[in-house]
Structure 1
């Protein structure tokens, strides 16, 4: 669902009239087609899971006859796939709105570190209030030196500190589109390590839907790059005035 962010940003930009859709532009056409492909992939992931890629055998053998495979999500009894996909889609949409707000905020307040500091401060306060409201048992907040605490610490170090620093460095070195190009590969990495190292179950239907989402993601990204390249070229052509059209005397009264 995180791969839907470029398509959602394109739709939101059209609704807010911050970008113009040109039917004759190949970039706008690619962004529209990529949005439709991403939506189709998201719907297929939500409704169809397909056969199991790798099934994990249970520790206690069962003498009962195996139940027929449930290929569609709505026939599954113990998995809330639809609710999970809707929540992930809502999270991606709110992140799209947040990115749009950030663009306007940076234009009014160029101090990026000040914005990040306020964002981290208020995010921590809001998370603390919600967490204390949802979990009122004081014993649940006790820290234990176990694997869960190690995962939290490693996630904070690698996801927040190291990943952000590497992304900023790569963006400054290679441009703004270098980092987003590798985003769909996270699905393949998570699926592979989930099947090999953890007792996770993945399905062919969800993998095909993820592939379709990746195709839509790259299509929207290519269309955005194409539109920005055309805008830059048009801006350069407007600024380049031919020499024969420049008057030698700007004001005859001064001669």
Structure 2
């Protein structure tokens, strides 16, 4: 396979894995698995896999972590994983896998908005790129509102035999207007928490010596946190039992494929093509999820979910387009500034230059 084609194949695989996560998680919740217990099992399995790998690879660097850095990672895990994913799973249980994947596209837009509030991003409404970024945030919010308040007619599935037969919950719960609205806004708040987690992680990565070490510590901390939450709210221990069915399959899949394979592939793709390229592939997730629901799962998809997903995707691309134009303008401005500095430096007579300035000009040319 040609080198330039690999990132395109990789992002398709990543989004297919994410679509599988939404589909299997929703099926497990419909089959009676508690979202709180599910997250604990998922994080515990991910910790069991990642911990020995990290100990072998990064044993020496772990001693460089101070108590304050560990405390920050603990808070980071609490916000992004324990709170964010628990709320996201509950919202997914109350809506559908299509809504979950549509809301997933709002994360880059919400992340930009939070970064703007923290003055990590700029928003110049007198420029086209600033207007595009502001319009992207508005389109994203409009998409979430449309998903919440307009269900519309359902697109019937082509496969009328459901792959997974829910034991509890099911269509009556999903299609209740009240639970649908509640679930949609829970997904939105979960994405806000996840976006805040992404922004805060940028600061903590400067203090943590390794990305895999940070990931593993978060998994361990979130395992302890999610256990406390699950044991506090799920006193019925029958909710903790899992058979060899879709419940166990979803836990294993999310722990290994989502937290393992997809994160590794995503890190590789970020290194090769950059974050904008990865973010622009997010809409593939909702396409894969809708196709899975209609063709494989035998689940109807509401028109409101599709239209809201389209608005959310449009908001994502609007923000990314604005960011791309802004980056090009910033790069061009820096190049012009550097060229002007070189011209001023060359204009200085050789005899009046310091030795360091003479070396700099010679090296530049």
TM-score (norm 2): 0.59
Residue 132 of structure 2 is aligned to residue 35 of structure 1: no
Q: Give the corresponding residue for 2:202.
A: 103
Q: Give the corresponding residue for 1:193.
A: 292
Find 1:130's aligned residue among 229, 248, 253. Answer: 229
- Report the 3-state secondary structure (helix = DSSP H, G, I; strand = E; otherwise coil) of the residue aligned with 1:240: helix
1:178 to partner: Cα distance: 1.9
Distance 1:47 1:174 in 2: 37
1:131 to partner: Cα distance: 1.1
Please identify the structure whose Cα radius of gyration is greater: 1
1:141 to partner: Cα distance: 2.9
Q: Give the corresponding residue for 1:212.
A: 311
Q: Give the corresponding residue for 1:172.
A: 271
Distance 1:228 1:243 in 2: 23
- Range moving further from structure 2, 195-204 or 135-144: 135-144
RMSD between superposed Cα atoms in Å: 2.3
The Cα offsets for residues 163-188 of structure 1, whole Å up to 9 and x where unpaired, read as 11221222222222222111112112
Q: CA, structure 1 residues 126+175, in 2 after alignment: closer, same or farther (shift >3 Å)?
A: same
Q: Give the corresponding residue for 1:73.
A: none
Alignment of 1:3-18 (within 5 A): 3-18=105-120
Distance 1:84 1:147 in 2: 22
Distance 1:196 1:244 in 2: 64
Higher helix share: 2
1:12 to partner: Cα distance: 1.6
Question: Structure 2: which 5+ runs fail to align?
Answer: 1-102, 162-174, 355-365
TM-score (norm 1): 0.82
1:206 to partner: Cα distance: 2.0
Residue 179 of structure 2 is aligned to residue 80 of structure 1: yes
Distance 1:191 1:8 in 2: 23
Q: CA, structure 1 residues 104+45, in 2 after alignment: closer, same or farther (shift >3 Å)?
A: same
1:143 to partner: Cα distance: 4.2
Question: Structure 1: which 5+ runs fail to align?
Answer: 59-75
Q: Give the corresponding residue for 2:154.
A: 52
Query: Paired residues, what number?
Result: 234
Q: Give the corresponding residue for 1:70.
A: none
Larger relative contact order (CA 8 Å, sep ≥ 6): 1
- Range moving further from structure 2, 203-212 or 48-57: 48-57
